[in-house]
Amino acid sequence: MSYKIPFTYSDEQTLRVELINQEMSTLGLTPEKLTCGYALQSIKETLAFTCTIDPQKIIDALWQELFNEASINDIKKRNDFNKSYSKADRDLCTRICLRLQSPEIRDQNITSASIAASMGKSAATISQLINGKYNAKPSKHLHDIWAILQPAELDQPKQSVKQVAEPEERKQVSIVYGKVPFIPTSTSKLIAMACDQARQRRRFSVFAGQAGLGKTKGISEYCRNNKEAILIAGSEQTSSTQVLDQLILALGLSRCPSAYKNMQKIIMALRDTDRLIILDEADKCKPNALDPLRTISDQAIVGVTLVGNIQLVDKLQTQERYELIASRVCFWPKPIGQVTVEDIQTLFIELTEGTIKLASDDAAWWQWLHKRVEGNARELVENLLPHVLNHAAKKPDVAIDKLLINGIFSSVLNKPAV
């Protein structure tokens, strides 16, 4: 039986691997956590000096992953700490240096100088602290620096038995899709106005807006408060037949094989009533889906509200089939692209129930957050806030700031810093 002989590492390769192993030990990293694009077994063999082929490419990839463009001398110099630094201090310095090199920090132009300004110290002092050259005990200052730079805690907090028993523990707030309470916004108010206009004037109204503004949430709340409203949930599969079927079901009528007879039953049931038909996702429905609504509105003299994305406006204004609908619209506000800054502030405060400590609560902060979520309620409520609440539950005394929000977007939502 033949055995492969391990490759003989050069002095430089040996030193690089030793520094890589040292760094991984300091950071608590395992080969499984590295993402340099090579097979796990190859990485393990390279780090254990058992690789049977030249490992240079793997070493280069691991070095880039951990140290970016730093040279061997840079790393050796960084690891040469003043005697006042404990092992914990040295480990924290390493974390700080790596964090400063991360894309999300560089994209925000966070440097030693900006950290110094926020801490009221000189840039030279900060440089000495993180490079291991500070003569006095550095622990407190290093922890202050790390508090500025640390990534968001995104894992679900674990609740201990002791925590459950404590009556004065901090309130735990969570956001779960499908169970988010209704919060009034400018979108819901405008939708309510559109529905009221259609019902009172017994004509069509149209509300169009970008996805994620809370249109469906606003419609559901309107229907909850106005029992005379009939909601049809549209989709790509919704045709005239599905529209009639949903109306028959909502009105408690018996269904006939004939679409014409079904329509006549619906017209008779709605005539001389104060009912309102709402078609959500109208832009997604098949072209013939709106045909029976036009006839029912005309003959039963009831209002119809069409709600959908921006594409709904294009269809009503440019496609010949929809011209008969467009001429019947009595209320048609300009399509909405974003919710307001006030909406973002209201949603944030109401849904977090006052459990979030903010680094800033002025107008500039809310304007920045509005820009960060692109004026989109869904981006804030369903994508960002659950992670913010998880972080706050684990570190309730750490204030939420732009750096932390950008860190969440960069690390888990795959979006650049703003």
Neighbours of 191 (CB within 10 A): 28
The mean pLDDT of 390-418, rounded to a whole number, is 83
Least confident of 2-6, 168-172, 302-306, 354-358: 168-172
CB proximity list for 315: less than 8 A, separation 6 or greater: 283, 322
Quick check: helix, strand or coil at residue 233?
Answer: strand
Q: Residue 377: is its pLDDT beyond 70? A: yes
Return the structure tokens found at 397.
């005394």
**Which pTM was predicted?**
0.67
Quick check: helix, strand or coil at residue 36?
Answer: coil
The mean pLDDT of 389-395, rounded to a whole number, is 86
**Separation between Cα atoms, residue 274 and residue 248, nearest integer Å:** 17
Strand 204-208 to 229-233 pairing: unpaired
Q: Residue 163: is its pLDDT beyond 50? A: no
Least confident of 45-59, 79-93, 190-204: 79-93
So what's the pLDDT on residue 242?
95
CA-based angle 80:83:88, to the nearest 5? 80
So what's the pLDDT on residue 166?
45
pLDDT in tens, 120-161: 888 888 888 888 888 888 888 888 888 778 766 655 555 544
Which residues in 248-257 are b (16+ Cβ under 10 Å) and which e?
Answer: bebeeeeeee
Cross-strand partners of 336: 209
Looking at per-residue pLDDT, the higher value among 107 and 17 belongs to 17
Kindly report the average pLDDT of the chain as a whole number. Answer: 87
So what's the pLDDT on residue 394?
84
**Separation between Cα atoms, residue 260 and residue 241, nearest integer Å:** 10
> Among 325, 204, 234, which residue's Cα sits nearest to residue 245?
234
> Among 151, 153, 112, which residue's Cα sits nearest to residue 129?
112
Ramachandran region of residue 68, left (φ > 0), alpha (ψ -120 to 50) or beta? left
- On whether the CB atoms of residues 175 and 281 are closer than 8 A, the answer is no
Q: Residue 315: is its pLDDT beyond 80? A: yes
Which structural domains are found in the chain, ordered by start?
Answer: 11-149 (no CATH), 161-177+339-412 (no CATH), 186-331 (3.40.50.300)
Helices 139-149, 87-101: axis angle to 10 degrees equals: 30
Backbone dihedral angles phi then psi of residue 136, each to the nearest 5 degrees? -90, 180
Q: How many residues does the chain have?
A: 418
Which residues of 235-390 form beta strands (DSSP E)?
A: 276-280, 303-308, 329-331
pLDDT in tens, 226-284: 999 999 999 999 999 999 999 999 999 999 999 999 999 999 999 989 999 999 999 99
The mean pLDDT of 10-23, rounded to a whole number, is 88
Q: Residue 167: is its pLDDT beyond 50? A: no
**Separation between Cα atoms, residue 117 and residue 101, nearest integer Å:** 19
Quick check: helix, strand or coil at residue 330?
Answer: strand
Question: Exposed, middle or buried, 169 (CB in 10 Å: 0-12/13-18/19+)?
Answer: exposed
The mean pLDDT of 28-57, rounded to a whole number, is 86
Maximum CA extent, the chain:
95
